Amino acid sequence: MTLSRCLSKTLTSRAVALTLVFQLTSYCVLLLTSLTLALTPDPDRYHDYCVIGAGPGGLQIGHFLEKANRDYIVFERSNVSGHFFVDFPRHRKLISINKRFTGQRNKEFNLRHDWNSLLSDDEALLFREYSKEMFPHADRMLDYLRDYQQKLGIKVQFNTEVNNIRTVHNDSAPDGLLHLLDDQHGNTYACKVMVVATGMWKPNIPGMVGIEMAVGYETMSLNPDDYEGKTVLILGRGNAAFEVADGIYSVTNFIHMVSRSRARLSWQTHYVGDLRAVNNGLLDTYQLKSLDGLLENNIEHETLWKTEDGKLWLAGDVYNKSDNFAARDPYDKVIRCLGFKFDTSIFANYSDITTEKGGAKKYLSIQHNYESKTMPGVFLAGTSSHSLDWRKSAGGFIHGFRYTARALASLLEWRYEGVPWPSKTVPVTQLLTHVLKRFNEASGIYQMFQVLGDVAVFSEDGQSVEYLEEFPINLIHSLPEHTGHKAHRILAVVMEYGADFSGPGKDPLRKGRATQSASRAHRSNFLHPVLYYYKTPPTKKRMSSRTAKEVLPRPAATHHIVEDFLTDWDGLKSHVTPLRRFLDQITGTDLRTRFAEPCFLEAMTFSQPSVACRDQFMQEQGLTSSPAMEEAGHSWVHFNASGVL
């Protein structure tokens, strides 16, 4: 019943009419209030930022939100941080490097070789304090993540399984949307920004006929006795598949491994997600003809079937065409090791969620600011965001996504809080030393090569730069929009491998694989710094028209710093002098450092001294006067006027 209809009734008494009007108005207001509360959750269940998942990615973004004193909550479906590591990897050996000693004390440099630590200001929260092993036990990761969450006070709500993520229109929200989600108890939560950091934990099960006869990596027995004297087929050729093979091949008759494509070795491709040497023992027994072997075929084109004696047979479009095909004998066990994928079922309309294409289809489609392409205000962090650099860089692993999470935090700070991207004002006279320090020490641009880079924005007068660290270089065309910094002339500093260093048919250990000549720096193959100078930032069109081998569009000037065996770019002739000449060229000045005597000579012989002399010694005013000097000057004038001098 509407209020107008209520009031349209015929009333016979003024007093009764007023009473009824008051009661009906109160009823209608109460009804509207109840509807409003039904759409808006309890204020105690509202947060500006909701983070889904308390694994390494969720804890890392949670730390930055905590550090910025934001209103946030991290939801975790289990009772521990990093629950994935309770079960995985199954044989409990991590393949992330824990290099405790580098010969240096610089924390930032050492993080280049520490692949397990998250970022914080607490020196005790480095993984080297938790394990001495190069490839640590997975339980140490659980210990580390527990302490990281507790010591840094990251707000995690455990035992909360999130589902039914959806959006409702809300004009007061920054994006015009409010994000709602439910838990297993029927509670509804709301937030203006959502960060999904659930990782990749759902087993990837292909549409293969008979796949149910294979045991999954996630449930397989770890007891070697269960495989003794058995013939085993492993579906997959990634690190999980080879981990399983390494764990059982000493007791089996033999192991065959089948996958869609050939095994890719990480030391050949420079992609850490490819097969690591720590797991590839089966390659030895295969290539040295000790029964084990690798096959290539599309698994979805094959069929797995079982005979009455319990033996498992593999048949498909390439089999049974010859009497010597590889998989002509039966297997006792088949183990599925095909990795994991993103779980889209947490979204209310998960059928509308877009994923990447090809081999990256297990990832959600996101933009270069880590925002979903189909859900505004929903961002991805941690392993889930790896679609942006899949098979290129380290964004799917802790030593990579700890930096992309920091980049995401900075993007959120500007977009929703109006806090510009952190920067440092560097006088142009110090640009050389600052850039040298960054690419010799910084871990973020080193690990997230070709993805994150430093950007120096020149001031209008060219006397200084605003130096932004670890910015997503694929957003360089819209830098002001994402950072709050105006962009005029810019210099981008990126770490790159040579375009033709690795790939099919390439031998990264070949003779002549490296160059030492600064004049051939552009032919460097190993990881090395590259500088791109733009008089104006590249346009969106130019960014989208790049070729597969181009990291950034063609700039006004490019400078490669020759690769170095020690990744220590401090050679005066090979590294420093060529870089200084490049900076001289793009700044239109002489950036050489001078001492007092050369500056004095310049002041006496040139109308315009060099920038270094002007800024560091003369301050544009020559000698600075003092009372004693002024008194001496007056005396000199007096004596000269008197004819004494």
For 167-193, write each residue's pLDDT tens digit.
999 998 899 999 999 999 999 999 999
**8 Å CB contact between 599 and 429:** no
Bridge partners (DSSP) listed for residue 191 = 47, 179
Amino acid at 577: T
Instruction: Say how far apart CA 132 and CA 135 lie, in whole Å.
Output: 9
Residue 249 CA to residue 190 CA, distance in Å, equals 51
Check residue 504 and give its pLDDT. Answer: 64
Buried b (16+ CB within 10 A) or exposed e, 192-228: bbbbbbbbbbbebeeebebbeebebbeebeeeeeebe
Average pLDDT score over residue span 28-57: 66
- Does the pLDDT at position 615 exceed 60? yes
pLDDT of residue 349: 81
* Residue 297 near residue 260 (C-beta atoms within 8 A): yes
Per-residue pLDDT at 606: 80
Three-state secondary-structure class, residue 223: coil
Q: Residues 104-144: pLDDT tens digits? A: 999 999 999 999 999 999 999 999 999 999 999 999 999 99
Q: Which residues pair with 165 in a beta bridge?
A: 347
Taking 50 as the threshold, does the pLDDT of residue 519 lie above it?
yes
Residue 598: pLDDT band with limits 50, 70, 90:
confident
612 — pLDDT class (breaks 50, 70, 90) = confident
Q: How confident is the model over 613-639, as a mean pLDDT?
A: 62
Average pLDDT, the chain: 87
Question: In this predicted structure, what is the pLDDT of residue 635?
Answer: 64
Amino acid at 156: V
Nearest in space to 52 (alpha carbons), one of 151, 165, 153: 165
Q: Provide the pLDDT for residue 638.
A: 60
364 token code pair? 């959600």
pLDDT recorded at residue 633: 58
What kind and span of H or E run contains 359?
none
Alpha-carbon distance of 288 to 266, in angstroms, equals 21
pLDDT score at 298 = 86
Coil, helix or strand at residue 425:
strand
**φ, ψ (nearest 5 deg) of residue 331:** -120, 150
Query: In angstroms, rounded to a whole number, what is the distance separating the alpha carbons of residues 87 and 291?
Result: 30
- Reference 143, options 151, 155, 135; nearest CA is 151
Q: Looking at the predicted structure, is the pLDDT value of residue 319 above 50?
A: no
Q: Which range has the worst mean pLDDT, 43-47, 478-482, 592-596?
A: 592-596
Asked which of 60-64, 113-117, 343-347, 379-383 is least confident by mean pLDDT, the reply is 343-347
Please determine, for residue 194, whether its predicted confidence score (pLDDT) is greater than 90.
Answer: yes
Instruction: Extract long-range pairs of 128-136: CB within 8 Å, 24+ residues apart.
Output: 128/98, 128/100, 131/98, 132/100, 133/98, 134/97, 134/98, 134/99, 135/93, 135/94, 135/95, 135/96, 135/97, 135/98, 135/278, 136/93, 136/94, 136/96, 136/98
Please tell me the pTM assigned to this model: 0.87
> Residue 293 burial (CB < 10 Å; 0-12/13-18/19+)?
middle
Tokens of 519: 């004049």
Quick one: tokens of 399?
A: 């030593």
Q: What token pair was written down for 607?
A: 């109308």
Task: Name the pLDDT band for 353 (thresholds 50, 70, 90).
Answer: confident
Percent of the chain with pLDDT over 70: 87
What one-character DSSP code corresponds to residue 326? Answer: T
- What is the three-class DSSP state of 312? strand
Cα gap 292→257, rounded to integer Å: 8
What average pLDDT does this structure show over 588-614?
A: 79
Q: Kindly tell me if the per-residue pLDDT of 602 is higher than 80.
A: no
pLDDT of residue 625: 58
Query: In this model, does residue 417 exceed pLDDT 80?
Result: yes
The answer to whether the bond into 89 is cis (omega within 30° of 0) is yes
Q: Is the predicted pLDDT of residue 150 greater than 50, yes or no?
A: yes
pLDDT band at residue 435, thresholds of 50, 70 and 90? very high
* Confidence band, pLDDT 50/70/90 cuts, at residue 27: very low
- Within 8 A by CB and 6+ apart from 300, the residues are 206, 207, 208
| DSSP, res 371 | B
